[in-house]
């Protein structure tokens, strides 16, 4: 069966790169799939960077991409808020950008209509306090994602879910989560791509569930968070790398 015209959804962290290092063979695998007529739609739960920064990084990694082929959890979170409302971003620049593009006013502290939590390296007690004070003041709590960890070449780091847990625990509120595998990002992917044929990622609990909710097969690569194959699943194809999945789909090496 020809794959030309298909759209594949690919995770970035743990599939295409680890931090600032491309995973060997991944840029070539993306290029090969594109030559075969596959549209590659990247989706990331990491909301720390702006779209411009992501596109520049993709170029550095050897995977040039257009903005319409990149979906971030920051965009999914922003879509949950109405233009003209206000928000506090307990998150990185990607969330602030997505909120501004949505027409949401970003404020440094409450009172605000919503608090949006995302992954960022400079999270501290002051940031936690600002977020909690705003939620206690009546702000809606939204999270870009609930990933417990973030993969790097040197091992795992605490993820956005770890930051979110502190805000949820302190306030006693549960967040609406926007990124993989939750409905907001599912809706955004469907709006951006229409029919999707395959999801490829490194986490069964996010990428795998996203594939289930899109009702498509899941390609699990062992280059990121997951290092061992899970129990067999007829809808999951396990491979050592993105390169291996693309070779299996296209044939040859």
- How does pLDDT run across 85-125, given as a tens digit for each residue? 999 999 999 999 999 999 999 999 999 999 999 999 999 99
Residue tagged active-site, from 13, 113, 202, 207: 13
- Residue 197 in contact with residue 124, Cβ under 8 Å? no
Reply yes or no on whether 13 is catalytic: yes
- Residue 140 in contact with residue 176, Cβ under 8 Å? yes
**pLDDT top residue among 171 and 4:** 171
The sign of the torsion formed by the CA atoms of 28, 244, 18, 215 equals positive
Give the three-state DSSP class for 91: coil
Which CATH number describes the domain made up of 7-73+181-250? 3.40.50.1000
195-230: pLDDT as tens digits:
999 999 999 999 999 999 999 999 999 999 999 988
β-bridge mates for residue 8, sequence order:
40, 198
For 204, other C-beta atoms within 10 Å of its C-beta total 20
**Residue ranges with strand state E in the chain:** 7-10, 17-18, 21-22, 39-44, 70-72, 86-90, 105-107, 114-117, 140-143, 149-152, 155-158, 176-177, 198-201, 218-221, 236-239
pLDDT at 253: 57
Q: What is the pTM of this model?
A: 0.93
44-77: pLDDT as tens digits:
999 999 999 999 999 999 999 999 999 999 999 9
Reply yes or no on whether 11 is catalytic: yes
Domains 7-73+181-250 and 75-177 in one fold = yes
pLDDT at 252: 64
Residue tagged active-site, from 11, 147, 202, 207: 11
ω into residue 111 within 30 of 0, thus cis?
Answer: yes
- Residue 144 in contact with residue 178, Cβ under 8 Å? yes
CATH architecture of 75-177: 3-Layer(aba) Sandwich (3.40)
CA triple 51-240-46, angle to 5 deg:
20
Domain boundaries, the chain: 7-73+181-250, 75-177
């Amino acid at each position: 069966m020809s794959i030309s015209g298909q759209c594949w959804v690919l995770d970035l962290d743990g599939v295409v790169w680890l931090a600032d290092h491309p995973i060997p063979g991944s840029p070539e695998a993306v290029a090969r799939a594109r030559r075969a007529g596959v549209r590659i739609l990247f989706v990331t739960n990491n909301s720390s960077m702006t779209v411009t920064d992501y596109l520049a990084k993709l170029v550095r990694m050897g995977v040039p991409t257009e903005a319409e082929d990149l979906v971030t959890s920051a965009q999914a979170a922003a879509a949950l808020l109405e233009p003209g409302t206000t928000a506090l971003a307990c998150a990185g620049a990607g969330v602030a950008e997505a909120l501004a593009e949505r027409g949401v006013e970003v404020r440094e502290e409450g009172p605000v209509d919503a608090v949006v939590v995302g992954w960022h390296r400079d999270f501290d007690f002051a940031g936690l306090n600002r977020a909690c004070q705003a939620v206690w003041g009546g702000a809606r709590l939204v999270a870009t994602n609930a990933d417990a960890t973030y993969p790097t070449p040197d091992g795992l780091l605490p993820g956005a879910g770890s930051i979110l847990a502190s805000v949820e625990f302190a306030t006693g509120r549960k967040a609406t989560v926007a990124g993989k595998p939750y409905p907001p990002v599912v809706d955004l992917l469907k709006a951006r791509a229409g029919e999707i044929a395959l999801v490829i990622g490194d986490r069964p609990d996010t990428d795998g569930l996203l594939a289930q909710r899109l009702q498509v097969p899941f390609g699990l690569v062992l280059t990121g968070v997951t290092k061992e194959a899970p129990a067999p699943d007829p809808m999951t194809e396990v491979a050592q790398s993105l390169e291996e999945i693309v070779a299996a789909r296209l044939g040859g090496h």
